[in-house]
Amino acid sequence: MLPAELPGAKLDSNGVCLPCRNYEVAFGDWERVKARRKVEFEQALEKARRLKRPYDCLIPLSGGKDSTYALYVCARVHGLRCLTVTFDNGFLSDHARHNIRQALDQTGADHLAYTVSRPHMLRLFRLFLGKTGDLCSVCMRGIEVCTASARKAFDVPLIVDGNGTRLSYVAALRELFQAGNQDFVRNVLEGEELAAFAFPVLNPGGRKQTRLGWLSRRVRNRLLRPLRPRTLQLFDHLDVSADEVLRTLESEMGWTRPADAVEHMDCRLHEIPFHIHALKFPRLTPRTLWRCGQVRQGQMTRDEALRLEEADLANPTRPAALDPFLAEAGMSEAEFRSSASDWTRLGRFRPGGANGR
- Give CA–CA dist 95/112, Å, rounded: 18
Q: Residue 275: which residues within 8 A CB-CB, separation 6 or more?
A: 286, 318, 319, 322, 340
Q: Which domains are delineated in the chain? A: 7-349 (3.40.50.620)
State how far the alpha carbon of 249 is from the alpha carbons of 35, 69, 206, 221, 281, in Å.
23, 7, 41, 36, 35
Q: Provide the pLDDT confidence category of residue 259 given band limits of 50, 70 and 90.
A: confident
Percentage of the residues of the chain whose pLDDT score is greater than 90: 60
68 pLDDT more than 80: yes
Q: Is 63 exposed, middle or buried (0-12, 13-18, 19+ CB in 10 A)?
A: buried
Residues 58, 144, 235: CA angle, nearest 5 degrees: 55
Chain centroid, CA 314 distance in Å: 29
Percentage of the residues of the chain whose pLDDT score is greater than 70: 89
Interval 255-280 mean pLDDT = 85
- Give CA–CA dist 68/65, Å, rounded: 5
151 pLDDT more than 50: yes
Interval 277-324: pLDDT, tens: 999 999 999 889 888 888 887 888 989 999 999 999 999 999 999 999
Question: Beta strands 110-115 and 57-60: pairing type?
Answer: unpaired
Average pLDDT in the chain: 87
Q: What is the pLDDT of residue 29?
A: 78
Q: Provide the pLDDT confidence category of residue 215 given band limits of 50, 70 and 90.
A: low
Interval 3-34: pLDDT, tens: 889 998 898 888 888 888 888 887 777 788 88
- Give CA–CA dist 275/319, Å, rounded: 7
CB 100 within 8 A of CB 61: yes
Helix intervals (H) in the chain: 18-27, 30-50, 65-71, 94-107, 118-132, 136-154, 182-189, 195-202, 211-224, 242-252, 271-280, 288-296, 302-314, 322-329, 333-340
Which of these, 4, 35, 23, lies nearest to 298 by C-alpha position?
23
- Give CA–CA dist 79/253, Å, rounded: 15
What is the per-residue DSSP string for 68-101?
A: HHHHIIIIIIT---EEEEEEE-S-B-HHHHHHHH
State how far the alpha carbon of 341 is from the alpha carbons of 13, 329, 345, in Å.
28, 18, 9
Cα atoms found within 13 Å of the Cα of residue 355, Cβ hemisphere only: 2
- Give CA–CA dist 71/160, Å, rounded: 8
CB 65 within 8 A of CB 249: yes
Q: What is the pLDDT of residue 224?
A: 45
pTM of the model: 0.88
- Give CA–CA dist 313/307, Å, rounded: 10
Question: Beta strands 110-115 and 158-161: pairing type?
Answer: unpaired
CB 9 within 8 A of CB 41: no
